[in-house]
Amino acid sequence: MTIDQTKKKSLIGRTTMAGVLVAASIAAIGCGKAEDPPTILNTEKVERAIEKSSLDQRKKRVHVSCPSGVHQKKGLVFSCSTAATKGSTRFVVTQLNDSGRVHYEAP
């Protein structure tokens, strides 16, 4: 075998190995577990609960606005605001678990 033939075989071997590595990488990516999309908290339910609490406890009708698109995740904190005839109030909402249970209070 000549030096040129040895170099050619070595180059073919390296090219083949590189192709195998690329194919293996693509296969590994394709077989990877796709993550589930995040669950979105039903903030309309939170709004209604705060409105009901205000009416039941303080006899005040309020309109509550919470952000939409809040991920449902234990420990996540966000704010909702109320609008009433005599001003507004901010409520701090803390998610107690990953199932949508929350605690809210006006600081």
Q: Kindly give the confidence (pLDDT) of every residue in the chain, 107 residues in length, as a single tens digit, with 9 standing for 90 and above.
A: 555 555 555 545 544 444 444 444 444 455 556 788 889 999 999 999 999 999 999 998 999 999 999 999 999 999 999 987 788 899 999 999 999 999 999 98
- Are residues 59 and 83 located together in one domain of the fold? yes
- Are residues 51 and 101 located together in one domain of the fold? yes
Cβ(54)–Cβ(47) below 8 Å = no
11: containing domain:
1-34
Task: State which amino acid sits at residue 69.
Answer: G
- Measured CA to CA, the distance from residue 35 to residue 30 in angstroms comes to 13
Burial call 7-27: b when 16+ CB within 10 Å, e when fewer: eeeeeeeeeeeeeeeeeeeee
- Are residues 19 and 58 located together in one domain of the fold? no
- Are residues 28 and 55 located together in one domain of the fold? no
- Are residues 52 and 69 located together in one domain of the fold? yes
- Are residues 70 and 24 located together in one domain of the fold? no
| pLDDT of 13 | 52
Number of folded domains that form the chain: 2
This prediction has a pTM of 0.66
